[in-house]
Amino acid sequence: MPRMLFISCLILFWAPWASAQLNESDTVQLQLRASLTGMRQAGNVDFFSLSSSLVASTHLGPFAFKSQNSVRYQAFAGNATDNDLDTRNFLYYNCRKTVYPYLYGIASSNFRRQISMRYLFGAGMTAQILQKPEHVVKIGASVCYEQSTFTENSFNFDAYDGNAVVPLGRGTLWLYGTHRWSDQVHFFYEAFGQPAFSDLNNYRIHAQLGLDVKLIQNLSLSASYLWNREQLVVEGIQQDDQILTFGLSYSYRSKR
């Protein structure tokens, strides 16, 4: 937990420069978005939660760099239920063209899935199907080397039993889109599939949908649905994770 708290405090330092959702093909030279949230409850229920994120994008000549970072920690009665770190870093070349290449490196951990650390290094291509101020649609494909270190060495597939470290190569097919209709509705989505080259039964799927709707002048509704499927898991761990979040936000400004 001290590691997560330290990283979250670093992200808090960047918070005053936060901005809107980032797109590496934008013409803005530097973009930042940061958040930090926490909750502490004591008494009949002992609960602590801390999460933070930092997304940055910058352009240097024909190159663009984008970094997405997040940490999440939760504990009931001092027992951790989440203790995750995720950092995704991409280097793009000529990303304002219709088709452009990129390199990426990813490091992550997942407490519930008993993944102590996972590394991915790869390269790919992105094609911009639609690139307008209100509408963006992209597709992509990549290949990568992945190494996952689990806390256990017994899996739902017997072929992987006995090895806590699983190295392999993967391919990725990816789709991303964001759409705005005036200032009233914002809809975005992202999905990808990642099969392993050596074992097609070892794949993962990710899908996310999000919607922001302005109900009246100062009141907005937001909702997001996230689904992840990890085909290879430690024995006893479920393959699917789903998260649905929704809420209302209200803002008011008085003119003198």
Exposure string over 100-133, b if 16+ CB within 10 A, otherwise e? bebebebebbbbebbbeebebebebebebeeeee
Give the up-direction half-sphere exposure of residue 180: CA atoms within 13 A in the CB hemisphere. 10
pLDDT 10s digits, 97-129: 999 999 999 999 999 999 999 999 999 999 999
User: What average pLDDT does range 65-79 have in this prediction?
Assistant: 92
pLDDT 10s digits, 186-231: 999 999 999 999 998 899 999 999 998 988 877 888 899 999 999 9
pLDDT 10s digits, 124-171: 999 999 988 899 999 999 999 999 999 999 999 999 999 999 999 999
Choose the weakest-confidence range: 7-11, 31-35, 50-54, 88-92.
Answer: 7-11
Among residues 232, 185, 227, the alpha carbon closest in space to that of 205 is found at 227
Alpha carbon 171 to chain centroid, angstroms: 18
Tell me what percent of the residues of the chain surpass a pLDDT of 90: 66
pTM: 0.80
Q: For position 18, what pLDDT does the model report?
A: 34
pLDDT confidence tier of residue 19, bands split at 50, 70 and 90: very low
Q: For position 214, what pLDDT does the model report?
A: 87
Report how far apart the first and last C-alpha atoms of the chain are (Å, whole number).
47
Alpha helices in the chain (DSSP H): 2-14
Measured between alpha carbons, how far is 67 from 54 in angstroms, rounded to an integer?
Answer: 8
Among residues 121, 108, 126, the alpha carbon closest in space to that of 24 is found at 126
